[in-house]
Amino acid sequence: MQAVLIQAIVYLGAAVISVPIAKRLGLGSVLGYLIAGVVIGPFALSLVGQQADVMRFAEFGVVILLFLIGLEVRPSTLWDMRKTIFGLGGAQVVGTALAVAGVSLLLGLPWQTALAVGLVLAMSSTAIVLQTLDEKGLRQGPVGRAAFGVLLLQDLAVIPMFALLPLLATVAPPAVHGDGGHGASLISHLPAWAQGLAVLAAVGAVVGGGRYVVRPIFRFIAEARLREIFTAAALLIVVGVAGLMQTVGLSPALGAFLAGVVLAESEFRRELETDIEPFRGLLLGLFFITVGAGIDLRLVASQPLTLISLVLGLMILKFLVMFGIARLFGAPARGAAAVATALAQGGEFAFVLLTFTVGAGVIGATLAALLTAAVAVSMALTPVAVILYERIAERLNAAIPDVEPETGDFDEQEPDIIIAGFGRFGQVTGRLLAANGFRSTVLDTDIEQIELLRRFGRSVHYGDATRLDLLRQAGADTAKMLIVAIDDREKTVELVETARRAFPNLTILARAWDRRHAYDLLANGADAVERETFEAALSLGATALQKLGFRAHRAHRAASFFRRHDRKTFEDLRPMWGQEEAYILASRDAAKTMDRLLAADLQRLRPGDAGGGWDTSSLEMELRERAEREGAS
pTM of the model: 0.54
Residues 318 and 415 in one domain: no
Spatial distance between the Cα atoms of 113 and 122, rounded to a whole number of angstroms: 14
Question: With 80 as the cut, is the pLDDT of residue 127 above it?
Answer: no
- Residue 40 located in a structural domain: no
Task: Supply the pLDDT for residue 75.
Answer: 59
pLDDT tens string 329-383: 888 888 889 899 999 988 877 877 887 787 777 888 788 888 888 888 888 888 8
Task: Supply the pLDDT for residue 604.
Answer: 61
Residues 351 and 436 in one domain: no
Question: With 90 as the cut, is the pLDDT of residue 45 above it?
Answer: no
Task: Supply the pLDDT for residue 117.
Answer: 92
Residues 488 and 578 in one domain: no
How much of the chain is helix, strand and coil, in % rounded to 5? 75, 5, 25
CATH number at residue 515: 3.40.50.720
Confidence grade of residue 105 (pLDDT, cut at 50, 70, 90): very high
Spatial distance between the Cα atoms of 435 and 28, rounded to a whole number of angstroms: 43
Residue ending a domain, among 507, 532, 557, is: 532
Task: Supply the pLDDT for residue 63.
Answer: 73
Spatial distance between the Cα atoms of 335 and 11, rounded to a whole number of angstroms: 36
Average pLDDT of every residue of the chain: 77
Task: Supply the pLDDT for residue 344.
Answer: 92
Task: Supply the pLDDT for residue 628.
Answer: 61
Task: Supply the pLDDT for residue 57.
Answer: 59
The answer to which of 199-208, 365-374, 516-525 has the lowest mean pLDDT is 199-208
Q: Range of 568's domain?
A: 539-633
Task: Supply the pLDDT for residue 98.
Answer: 94
Question: With 60 as the cut, is the pLDDT of residue 616 above it?
Answer: no
Helix (H, G, I), strand (E, B), or coil: what is residue 510? strand
Task: Supply the pLDDT for residue 538.
Answer: 86
Residues 565 and 473 in one domain: no
Residue ending a domain, among 353, 373, 396, is: 396
- Residue 213 located in a structural domain: yes
Please report, for residues 120, 181, 202, 218, 496, the alpha-carbon distance to residue 161 in angstroms, rounded to integers and kept in the order given.
9, 19, 15, 32, 58
Helix axes 51-71, 227-247, angle to 10 degrees: 120
| Amino acid (one-letter) located at 593 | T
Whole-angstrom Cα Rg for the chain = 30
Percent of the chain surpassing pLDDT 70? 74
Task: Supply the pLDDT for residue 267.
Answer: 66
Residues 295 and 439 in one domain: no
The domain total for the chain is 3
pLDDT tens string 450-505: 777 777 777 788 777 888 877 887 888 889 999 999 888 888 888 999 899 889 88
Task: Supply the pLDDT for residue 93.
Answer: 93
Residues 442 and 502 in one domain: yes
Pinpoint the alpha helices (H) of 170-303: 192-224, 227-247, 252-264, 269-276, 280-293, 297-302
pLDDT tens string 300-313: 788 888 888 999 99
Task: Supply the pLDDT for residue 311.
Answer: 92
Residue 352 and residue 291 in contact, taking contact as beta carbons nearer than 8 Å? no
Residue ending a domain, among 473, 502, 532, is: 532
Cα dihedral 303, 305, 311, 313 in deg (nearest 10): -140
The answer to which of 15-24, 140-149, 277-286 has the lowest mean pLDDT is 277-286
Main-chain phi, psi angles of 456, to 5 degrees: -90, 10
